[in-house]
Structure 1
């Protein structure tokens, strides 16, 4: 996995193309992404959620059926609930969906504009960035024994001093383990690292 700064830099690049917002779901497993980022207008996000569109969205259906990139105007998937029309009514008039990775860990991302279709060159740049984000956020295959011990102590509710005593190390050494596991899992907090370790089945 790469650093949070690298991820944010790529998200900024994507945002320059998606003037009406984007959604990036990285490594979708068991119907939920391991990481997700979205910048759509709040009104559209609320409307989308309230109508349960995630289960009926033709862009997501397309993303699970194949890999590559497709403009919304060319999607070969039916849209019986008129989700793309509703999106257009909210300013997401022209869009692109990119799908990458194996079906068991698929990344699906969509990008929207109100003014024009994305050009072929822009689609290639977006696709390259999505593939890079997918690769840099690939979960680690494992954690070290020391990292697992530290997370288990946190999961059991131990404070730093108590956890360090339990493991027979200094408190500063225990904190260093937590820092290393946060970096490995690209987590901002220890709680987030613990959650990701569980999601990745590393504990």
Structure 2
């Protein structure tokens, strides 16, 4: 993921915002390098709920220049953004409506070229793909991770589930394998990040 964010910096001299796997208005991962004063104003005024770029990203997929978005901006979000140096920009959106990734990039000197926009869209796609939550964990594996996360020792967790300790350990091992984790602690962290538990 770090490599893709570094590549994104090359496209965005005034900064970028990334929301990865947005579900129920909450991203699994969020990062912004826009000017801090703009981030503070945006957050204080809940502009995410009023931003035409977000509305476009939620309702469409693809990539578009900010200047080509034809949506109402009754709160003047774009005018206020320009006062912070976010004059020209592009937004890329990908993924299902139930798990959308949106990337916004900005510059203050010129519009983004078609080639740059394709590059931003490719990074959005890559970020979405590398952070795709696994879908092949069984409910039993998720339950085993949940119990470990709640502090249960293996024997106590196995007793809670009514299975042998070796069966419990097998579920944890399978969960680690499917998540690509080396340790149970890493699998637990990933399961939390993916909001599986």
TM-score, normalised to structure 2's length?
A: 0.79
Matched, 1:66 2:60: yes
Q: Name the SS for the 1:40 alignment partner.
A: coil
Deviation track 1:56-76 (CA, whole Å, cap 9, x = no partner) reads 000011112211111111211
Q: Is the 8 A contact 1:150 1:163 kept in 2?
A: no
RMSD of aligned residue pairs (Cα, Å) = 2.8
- Alpha-carbon distance in 2 for matches of 1:149, 1:18: 42
TM-score, normalised to structure 1's length?
A: 0.77
Residue 39 of structure 1 and its aligned partner are, at CA, apart by 1.5
1:196 aligned residue (178, 193, 196): 193
2:147 aligned residue (148, 153, 167): 153
Where does residue 96 of structure 1 map in the other structure?
90
- Alpha-carbon distance in 1 for matches of 2:137, 2:144: 11
Q: Name the SS for the 1:104 alignment partner.
A: coil
> Aligned pairs, how many?
186
| Structure 2: tracts of 5 or more residues without a match | 159-164
Residue 41 of structure 1 and its aligned partner are, at CA, apart by 2.2
Deviation track 1:141-160 (CA, whole Å, cap 9, x = no partner) reads 032678535522333223xx
- Alpha-carbon distance in 1 for matches of 2:135, 2:171: 22
Q: Is the 8 A contact 1:96 1:118 kept in 2?
A: yes
Where does residue 19 of structure 1 map in the other structure?
13
Cα distance change on mapping 1:146 and 1:104 into 2, 3 Å: closer
Where does residue 130 of structure 1 map in the other structure?
124
Deviation track 1:14-72 (CA, whole Å, cap 9, x = no partner) reads 11111111111122111112222222222211110101101000001111221111111
Matched, 1:117 2:111: yes
